[in-house]
Structure 1
């Protein structure tokens, strides 16, 4: 397969990853059961690849058990960063951060949020603690040995399947990926990457910092991690904010399929935007015409990819990632224009993908202990996702899912329902973390009503499972990311008051598009 095509497809999937039914759960662990002993930390400069200009962050490592069931066995080091409170007199504790994934590095999330307008009351109230989760970045990174040359499949979303034969072909690829990961797991670390163990790591970090409690802010998959942390450690989890929610403590087949629902719910916002700008982009003068344009382009590219590089799958993935926030609508419209002409140039189309969707380094690992960021992110994503829960093992289940979701969610459903390597993964070492409804009322769930990656149903599911412990802030808005990353003043104010003062709404509220609370 064309190397350049693989690199861009992987890059698009990686952009989609970031800022991403209940099963019987593992009993809630106590801090004593899951937490490594407190260890004095040696703070110093962060690694050179961590954005830190001006140098506000400090970094340190926290040793934790690879296997919490064997606390005296092998240990790994988790790298954390600290953006100290700028006013120690107002400091109330630490705020642990997670950007999503799984597989996303969080060392610079504090400075990113600060640059996006994180209120000073939060910056004064907390030391912000970024974390490279286990297996990611500078925290005992894992590798499946992925390179740009051997990737018919890369990422959390397989290709858009057109029929049962396409699902069967994808099954062959998915099985090969699972076998490749198993073959490359020479040190056995992949088996111990899970949301439960990452939550245990969070409490080990809290203990190592000498804090009695820790607050938490997580986006996308970070909502699952935060839900697990609040459930496993109710006595030490302080104020927990879950933003853009996948609906449980893990991402399973049903959770992945909700990507199809999310794009259907969100797409009308982009269609309205594009229709209002028809004279500029010529994608359709009505929302209905814009929707038809999407299908026309995707189906044409399925049959005739641009120079064999940009096909319907890549177009659908690029659109999915390009609708994460309104700031990307213009680039997405440009992309549509570029592939709509009779003889588009692949280099121009790929330049638009690069301009709008971040490209991480690809290629083979640079060393046994430092896999490339591209390989590392996908390896960690697959390990956590596949280790967290049981996935269907028969191809027929995925063929039925694709057929159903192609009808129910035609924009993207046949990609979200397609088979993944998790169908061929090792059995999970433990059951998924069960959300614990008994505990302090300290969970704030914030959710856009129209989110392409984590639809509103995810927020509703978490709120239902937490019961009286949580409150749901439903925002009449679109995009992936609410607090600070969005622009709704009601959601910003409610979340800030909770983090700073502990003021949780008495009941669930809706934040209107104009920023008023209902």
Structure 2
């Protein structure tokens, strides 16, 4: 029962609000959202510039590495600016796996990738077989590479290589918490993106991804789309449901962040401090398990000894970086911390355990995991920065960031102040032209959320904020598991069955529910 404490607290705190919101939703089941519209988006009673009819997609067999049998690809033209739909066009790469049981088909299911910066084409490639098996022919499966990603139109900021490493794109403070280098780099990156990113980079927004999705719906000839969004894709899906409730069928939000429109990505990043604390005990238990002895990966005799070992090793690397297997890229304390963050997303803890062991062995040469061994492509860095910085204005008070970093380092030493530190968004030259979408209980009750209790990236506490925002429109399945991504990702049959049942039959739990390990 102890493992259910977080879920039970959620039920106790939100029971009354859920019943009240459900009653409101019943009165507004066919209502549509009335909120501030992004450029080019519409709400009832408004008129937007009309684009020409969307042409049919020219499908062909996909040729990318690992493409599935039967996976098809196409290119979707989209306006650079939905305020000028007949003007310059960009292109978005789209993909599909058609239902192999036409008699069972009920519609189209959109797979919305995470990120920002995730590829939907690759997401469908990696999950398509399992998803098709679960759906049993109920849907054509489709996805897209958002603007800036993969086969879609891209932009570049012209960033120096050292500014494109994950440990520099994420603003890890200096060893003593100093943020001076972070401030200088953030100014430099923002200036480079302003000079070289062009209108393409400025168009990388959640609002435009949502409009691109609706344009894909039209090109497919569908009146409604169902969707499975993961991580950042949950926010995209939530905004789509808010903007286009009349075109939203069954919506699954897997691993949600707090949709607070005043912070958006700034809030998601800040919440990673608590997320790391939630997830680390799983790593500690694994690393102290006697089963690791046979693998040569046991870090400590007891789980409670793993955390101080990690913190002490990172602090030593802050003082004395170690030469790694990658020339010119040493193992620093921040690279170790970032490697841990990546490891906590899944269940393969071996790479970070090996890194910890090598860091303690003077004769060893640490082997860096891919996420901390080299820079991102310039276009990849631009795609990440674009959506994060274009969606909402970030404060630029350096002193406030210094105070936040100092406090966060004390409260959450595993992340050392990174989640609340300054980023290039604080110096972004083009401020957002409209307010972010506010998620509300107004609209059809057709949302199912699924959430791991110990998610290092979108922690449970943030997901409860999304649940609260949707009110009676949603149900939440809380899964006693760790890691980022729940459906078809952690082997929890209870959670997987709830999602599959909803997508294939429309049946949701009557109330928020819990799935044990």
Global fold match (TM > 0.5): yes
Return the alpha-carbon distance in structure 2 between the equivalents of residues 26 and 215 of structure 1.
24
Counterpart pick for 1:86 among 81, 100, 109: 100
Q: Which runs of 5+ in 2 are unaligned?
A: 1-33, 324-328
The superposition leaves residues 255-312 of structure 1 with CA deviations (integer Å, 9 ceiling, x where unpaired) of 2111111000110111111111364434211122101110111001000111261100
Provide the alpha-carbon RMSD of the alignment: 2.3
The alpha-carbon deviation at position 34 of structure 1 amounts to: 8.4
Residue matched to 2:346? 325
Residue matched to 2:194? 182
Return the alpha-carbon distance in structure 2 between the equivalents of residues 341 and 437 of structure 1.
55
Determine helix, strand or coil for the equivalent of 2:179. helix
Counterpart pick for 1:291 among 300, 307, 311: 307
Determine helix, strand or coil for the equivalent of 2:276. helix
Higher mean C-alpha displacement, 441-450 vs 153-162: 153-162
Counterpart pick for 1:383 among 383, 386, 389: 386
The superposition leaves residues 181-212 of structure 1 with CA deviations (integer Å, 9 ceiling, x where unpaired) of 111124x1111111011011101100111000
Residue matched to 1:228? 239
Return the alpha-carbon distance in structure 2 between the equivalents of residues 404 and 396 of structure 1.
13
Is 1:309–2:299 an aligned residue pair?
Answer: no
The alpha-carbon deviation at position 448 of structure 1 amounts to: 0.3
- The answer as to whether partners of 1:299 and 1:312 remain within 8 angstroms in 2 is yes
Determine helix, strand or coil for the equivalent of 1:323. helix
The superposition leaves residues 111-131 of structure 1 with CA deviations (integer Å, 9 ceiling, x where unpaired) of 31134x335241511111120
Return the alpha-carbon distance in structure 2 between the equivalents of residues 34 and 482 of structure 1.
39
Assess, with a 3 A threshold, how the Cα gap between structure 1 residues 342 and 459 changes in structure 2: closer, same or farther: same
Assess, with a 3 A threshold, how the Cα gap between structure 1 residues 331 and 34 changes in structure 2: closer, same or farther: farther
Determine helix, strand or coil for the equivalent of 2:217. helix
The alpha-carbon deviation at position 336 of structure 1 amounts to: 1.3
The alpha-carbon deviation at position 478 of structure 1 amounts to: 0.3
Residue matched to 2:12? none
Return the alpha-carbon distance in structure 2 between the equivalents of residues 85 and 156 of structure 1.
40
Is 1:126–2:146 an aligned residue pair?
Answer: no
- The answer as to whether partners of 1:104 and 1:377 remain within 8 angstroms in 2 is no
Residue matched to 1:502? 506
Higher mean C-alpha displacement, 474-483 vs 118-127: 118-127
The alpha-carbon deviation at position 251 of structure 1 amounts to: 3.6
The alpha-carbon deviation at position 488 of structure 1 amounts to: 0.5
Counterpart pick for 1:244 among 241, 255, 259: 255
Is 1:393–2:393 an aligned residue pair?
Answer: no
Counterpart pick for 1:468 among 454, 468, 472: 472
Task: Give aligned pairs, total.
Answer: 467
Return the alpha-carbon distance in structure 2 between the equivalents of residues 387 and 262 of structure 1.
25
Return the alpha-carbon distance in structure 1 between the equivalents of residues 88 and 372 of structure 2.
35
The alpha-carbon deviation at position 146 of structure 1 amounts to: 3.1
Determine helix, strand or coil for the equivalent of 2:85. coil
Q: TM-score, normalised by structure 2?
A: 0.85
Return the alpha-carbon distance in structure 2 between the equivalents of residues 49 and 184 of structure 1.
29
The alpha-carbon deviation at position 217 of structure 1 amounts to: 0.8
Q: Which runs of 5+ in 1 are unaligned?
A: 1-23, 363-372, 514-518
- The answer as to whether partners of 2:313 and 2:333 remain within 8 angstroms in 1 is yes
Is 1:337–2:350 an aligned residue pair?
Answer: no
Return the alpha-carbon distance in structure 2 between the equivalents of residues 118 and 139 of structure 1.
24
Determine helix, strand or coil for the equivalent of 2:445. coil
Return the alpha-carbon distance in structure 1 between the equivalents of residues 270 and 186 of structure 2.
17
Counterpart pick for 1:109 among 114, 123, 127: 123
Is 1:488–2:492 an aligned residue pair?
Answer: yes
Counterpart pick for 1:169 among 181, 184, 209: 181
Residue matched to 2:89? 75
- The answer as to whether partners of 1:50 and 1:108 remain within 8 angstroms in 2 is no
Assess, with a 3 A threshold, how the Cα gap between structure 1 residues 155 and 504 changes in structure 2: closer, same or farther: farther
- The answer as to whether partners of 2:100 and 2:137 remain within 8 angstroms in 1 is yes
Q: TM-score, normalised by structure 1?
A: 0.85
Counterpart pick for 2:155 among 128, 131, 142: 142
